[in-house]
Structure 1
Amino acid sequence: MSHASTRPADAGTSAPPRANAVVAVLALAGIVVSLMQTLVIPIVPELPRLLNASPSNTAWAVTATLLAAAVATPVVGRLGDMIGKRRMLLASIVMLIAGSVVCALADSLVPMVIGRALQGLAAAVVPLGISIMRDTMPAEKLAGSTALMSASLGVGGALGLPAAAFIADRWNWHILFWASAGLGALSLILVLLVIPESKVRTGGRFDLVGSLGLAAGLLSLLLAVSKGGDWGWTSSTTLGLGVAAVVILLAWGWWELRTRQPLVDLRTTARRQVLFTNFASVALGFSMFAMSLVLPQLLQLPTQTGYGLGKSMLTVGLVLAPQGLVMMAMSAVSASVTRAKGPKVTLMIGALIVASGYALNILLMSEVWHLVLVSCIIGGGVGFTYGALPALIMGAVEPSQTGAANSLNTLMRSLGTSFASAIAGVILAQMTTGFGGHALPSENGFKVVMAIGSAAALLAFALATFIPKRRAAAQPEAATQAPEPAAQAVSEAQA
């Protein structure tokens, strides 16, 4: 197993800036990147008209981002460990800006899909930011900083929806992407001015075969999951992609175990703490996304159904926005619990909060304030869990593997959201009620999805019980404070 080698940081970045400025800039970058996930939601129903394409084809404006993010996240994380996390952070933000500009200039489907794919390539910003914090932050600020950075994924999405709906209702839809490009440019400038380059590098040769294999396996899996509803779950295309995903990923795992410098160190990933944290991340990603699927539909369905609330997309955004603020506030509480009891306890508490939020939603879903309350409870639980996950991962891997390990954990959450979208889509398509000559998701269908969301959170709680009891957060804190030779000794001891 390779260990960290130290190289001089980029010129002009050797003196560490103020810790608060580093946290603010990295959190802003994370929020800007997470905005891209909700940016297009208000205009999805209008995309066929805006792009002169069929609804099934315009769905690629969403799918392309998902696929690009899944492929880029582990690759960029590994490159960050090898050649510099700040360097790859800058490259990711440049991809976001480029994709935003392409979408802002697009009037047809192909450039829109290309632009959205470029935006997806920026998805590694959050795990890279967490890894930079581990390498550069003072020990006493690490837990709170990484919790805030991890929560930025949800914060940006929650706050971005009402803003995007407001802009789309009043101005040309291209302004959404010009605004995204402007925020990306601001983040780029601030990263250049404030963020130091980490001296923790692995060097070595990039695993091109492993990256291609992982990309092929993930693309096959996610295409089958995300498009199976359109193609038919038993169609030859869906089943073929599913079989291809299994075969390719098994072959990829065989390669990764035998190559000297793998893209993903599967032996490290198999460590009990990393393994069960990643399993719990899949369940949490599933649980969190179930809310994003249910609540907007409940709010927008006609009141004549007896359970819909008949609200606009702007109102949907305003109802969901408070959860982002709650998530941000809970990241600080999460850090306090992690320092006192360890990240395992924090994760378990957060999972129980999420599960209780969904259970309450089954009972309270007839008023707007019901959904505001439920979204805030679930958002608070997500703030807890997303703050604990990076602490658990960093407590079990060497400093030189932080970027790749955090990126893989982010990928696990993304896989959970993809599975949630597919399963909830099947349930809501099967459990319907007739209305105005159309089949709409029934009230019981929504309740079943919420029950599954609660069960997924309870599964995450159960998986967290298998994580070792030791306080893993102490290890990365010590590593950030140790001189470089001592840090390598810690790495060797962990290996």
Structure 2
Amino acid sequence: MPHAPTAHRPGPVVATLALAGVTAAVMQTLVTPLLADLPRILDTTPSNAAWVVTATLLVAGVCVPITGRLGDMLGKRRVLLACAVPLIVGSVVCALAGSVVPMIVGRGLQGIGMGMIPLGIALLRDVLPAEKLSSSIALVSASMGIGGGIGLPVAAAVAQYGSWRMLFWGAAVLAAAVAVMILTLVPDVPASARGQRFDAVGALGLAVGLVSLLLAVSKGADWGWGSATTLGLFATAAVSLAAWGLFEWRTREPLVDLRTTARPRVLLTNLASLFIGFGMYASMLIVPQLLQYPEATGFGLGQSMLAAGLWMLPGGLMMMVVSPLGGKLTTARGPKVTLISGALVLAAGYVVSLLLAGTAWGLMIGMMVMNSGVALAYGAMPALIMSAVPLHETGAANGFNALMRSLGTSVGAAVIGVVLAQMTTTMGGYTFTSENGFRTGLVIGCALALVSAAVATFIPAPRDTGRAVEATAADDTPSAALDAKG
């Protein structure tokens, strides 16, 4: 029988897990202010320097579902602590790096720590009372956007006025502080899938498929979408993931239980997550460029990296404000309503940005609306997932949902990148993205947010028959509160 939620003060636990999520998210935006200078800093080519970003993406994509499964098997608190170690070590390696190879290694180690966010969300189901669950899930889930929104201007300020190495030393200290908080404030609860075997074959198959897919998506524009390398990677991904899916379906204790994932409530939530990830990242790619493009272009606003980050900061803060409201909406109306509302608010933010794109204030307001929608949607997704999976699969199921969001952002980056690269104009002998290119990217982001809302409308409410099956693994758990509403 599953254990009952642990009796303790929920505030410190939620604060710790939210800070862990913010820390993991900060690692992703940490190098953004350095991108233009990385070839000089590391004495390498721009293409090699790009691996500083790609390495984190690849490692996180592979490790997030694996750490989720390990959390179910070994205990989520233990694996959270384990995730903090590569965050600390990776940050130190980057801080000491003098060339591109150790920097890439350090960034890869930081990618392992991305599993903190879905693990923290899954742990909430184990330790919180029902009345605290929805709002806490919303806050911890939104921590990724909060970390990105706050981390960008802070990183820009440090990079502009101090040494770039301080960024990584600061990240190491922050990760170490989070590890101490997890050790002292987060309760240790029995592993929900203790005694089950780890699916090493499934982990290897998923790693091959995901690395091939993410490499093709993230580097296809550089290598050429029709090149042998890109097409070969897409083919490898298709074959590997198909074989992985067949193996997972037949194995007794899989890395990801595809029977659970195939349930309409889980499947449609993951599909909506894919489109939300795409819709969110389109704005993150376009708005900073509009803010920083020279005013001589006729549509750029001529802001510095630091100023652009500060204009975007209120958007990150809005996620912190809106996420508890999303939790209350989930408690009152159910996570499906919250997800649909979030997708529609995200689409409305794109409309605002399209109408007010000529001013920094307009883009700031648009980002505030968009991030409010992301906060609502990100808080609803784990609630929907956890209301449809048994307790011993919450870590793996949340890890897989986080992977869907990550795939959405990766595909979004590739698609928007192609649009911006193809829709160009020439002025003074320079070719750059046209205003119509940026507007087209915003329209695509809006359209994908509406697609996500449409998909979410088909998410079925929990059925009595489904609850009967889930009761063996989920009775007396806080997820019953989530399961009571569609």
TM bracket, shorter-chain basis: over 0.9
Contact 2:2 2:473 in 1 (8 A): no
User: Is this contact kept in 1: 2:6–2:126, CA < 8 A?
Assistant: no
Aligned residue for 2:456?
A: 464
1:171 Cα offset (Å): 1.0
1:36 alignment partner in structure 2: 27
1:329 and 2:329 matched: no
Secondary structure of the residue that 2:459 maps to in structure 1?
coil
1:342–1:470 Cα contact (<8 Å) kept = no
- For the 8 Å contact 1:5–1:202, the answer to whether it is kept is no
Q: Which residue of 1 aligns with 2:66?
A: 75
The Cα offsets for residues 453-486 of structure 1, whole Å up to 9 and x where unpaired, read as: 00110010011011113499xx8xx99xx99985
TM-score (norm 1): 0.93
Alignment partner, residue 354 of structure 2: 362
Distance in 2 separating the partners of 1:252 and 1:380: 36
Q: 1:169 to 1:375 in 2, by over 3 A?
A: same
Q: 2:254 aligns to what?
A: 262
Partner of 1:172: 163
How many angstroms does 1:333 deviate by?
Answer: 1.0
Q: Per-residue deviation at 1:435? A: 2.8
Taking the TM superposition and a 5 Å limit, the aligned residue runs for 1:228-267 are 228-267=220-259
- Aligned partners of 2:53 and 2:107 also within 8 Å: yes
Distance 2:120 2:405 in 1: 17
**Are the counterparts in 1 of residues 352 and 365 from structure 2 also a CA contact under 8 Å?**
no
Report the equivalent of 2:272: 280
| Structure 2 residue 425 is the aligned partner of structure 1 residue 433 | yes
- Checking the alignment, whether the CA contact within 8 Å between 1:283 and 1:456 is kept in structure 2 is yes
Aligned amino acid, residue 33 of structure 1: A
Do the aligned partners of 2:6 and 2:127 also contact (CA within 8 Å) in 1?
Answer: no
Is the 2:266–2:388 Cα contact (8 Å) retained in structure 1? yes
Structure 2 residue 371 is the aligned partner of structure 1 residue 382: no
Which one of 73, 78, 84 corresponds to residue 87 of structure 1?
A: 78
**Pair 1:487–1:42, CA change in 2 (3 A):** closer
Which of residues 181, 186, 207 is equivalent to 1:195?
Answer: 186
| Aligned AA (2:25) | S
CA contact (8 A) 1:354 1:457 kept: yes
| Structure 1 residues 245 and 102, CA gap change in structure 2 (3 angstroms) | same
The Cα shift of 1:437 comes to: 2.1
Is 1:133 the counterpart of 2:118 in the alignment?
Answer: no
* Partner SS, residue 146 of structure 1: helix
What CA distance in whole angstroms lies between the structure 2 residues aligned with 1:391 and 1:193?
A: 26
The corresponding residue for 1:454 is 446
Letter in 2 for 1:298: L
Q: Deviations over 1:48-73 (max 9, x none)?
A: 00000000110000000000000000
Q: Residues of 2 paired with 1:198 and 1:284: CA distance?
A: 32
The Cα offsets for residues 14-66 of structure 1, whole Å up to 9 and x where unpaired, read as 97431101011111111011001111000100000000000011000000000
Taking only the aligned residue pairs, the percentage that are identical comes to 54
Correspondence list, 1:296-445, <5 A: 296-445=288-437
- Which amino acid in structure 1 is aligned with residue 239 of structure 2? V
Q: Distance in 2 between matches of 1:234 and 1:16?
A: 57
Whether the aligned pair in 1 keeps the contact of 2:145 and 2:319 (CA below 8 Å) is yes
Question: Contact 1:226–1:418 at 8 Å: present in 2 too?
Answer: yes
Report the Cα distance in structure 1 between the residues aligned to 2:181 and 2:166, rounded to whole angstroms. Answer: 23
Q: Once the 2 structures are TM-superposed, how far is the Cα of residue 200 of structure 1 from its aligned partner?
A: 4.1
Residue 324 of structure 1: CA displacement?
A: 1.2
Whichever residue aligns with residue 324 of structure 1, its letter is G
1:294 to 281, 286, 297: 286
Whether contact under 8 Å (2:30, 2:151) holds in the other structure is yes
Q: 2:90 aligns with which of 76, 88, 99?
A: 99
Q: Which whole-Å CA distance do the structure 1 matches of 2:140 and 2:160 have between them?
A: 30
Q: Measure how far apart 1:201 and its partner are.
A: 1.9
1:55 equivalenced with 2:46 (yes/no): yes
Q: Match for 2:176 among 172, 175, 185?
A: 185
SS in 2 for 1:142: helix
Tell me if the contact between 2:126 and 2:477 (Cα under 8 Å) persists in the aligned partners.
no
Residues 376, 485 of structure 1: alpha-carbon distance in 2 compared, 3 angstrom cutoff:
closer
> d(CA) in 2 for partners of 1:230 and 1:281?
27
Quote the Cα distance in structure 2 between the aligned partners of 1:26 and 1:224. Answer: 33
Matched, 1:23 2:14: yes
Residues 15/337 of structure 1: CA separation in 2 closer, same or farther (3 Å cut): closer
Moved more, 427-436 or 185-194: 427-436
SS of corresponding position for 1:45: coil
Q: 3-state DSSP class of the match of 1:260? A: coil
Q: What secondary structure sits across from 2:307 in the alignment?
A: helix
Question: Which of residues 46, 59, 62 is equivalent to 2:37?
Answer: 46
Output the CA distance in 1 between the equivalents of 2:220 and 2:332: 45
Q: Following the alignment from structure 1 to structure 2, what is the Cα–Cα distance between the partners of residues 186 and 17?
A: 21
Count of matched residue pairs: 477
Structure 2 letter corresponding to 1:440: F
Q: Partner of 1:201: helix, strand, or coil?
A: coil
Aligned partner (choices 116, 125, 141) of residue 150 of structure 1: 141
Q: SS state of the match for residue 113, structure 2?
A: coil
Q: Note the aligned Cα RMSD (angstroms).
A: 2.2
3-state DSSP of counterpart to 1:157: helix
Question: Unpaired runs of 5+ in structure 2?
Answer: none
* Residue 159 of structure 1: aligned partner: 150
- Determine the C-alpha separation between the residues in 1 that align with 2:345 and 2:90: 36
SS at match of 1:434: strand
Q: Residue 110 of structure 1 aligns with which residue?
A: 101
Provide the rounded CA distance (Å) in 1 between the counterparts of 2:187 and 2:104. 34
**1-side partners of 2:47 and 2:355: how far apart?**
35
Counterpart-to-counterpart distance in 1, 2:193 and 2:150: 37
3-state DSSP of counterpart to 1:107: coil
Matched-pair contact (CA < 8 Å) for 1:351–1:458:
yes
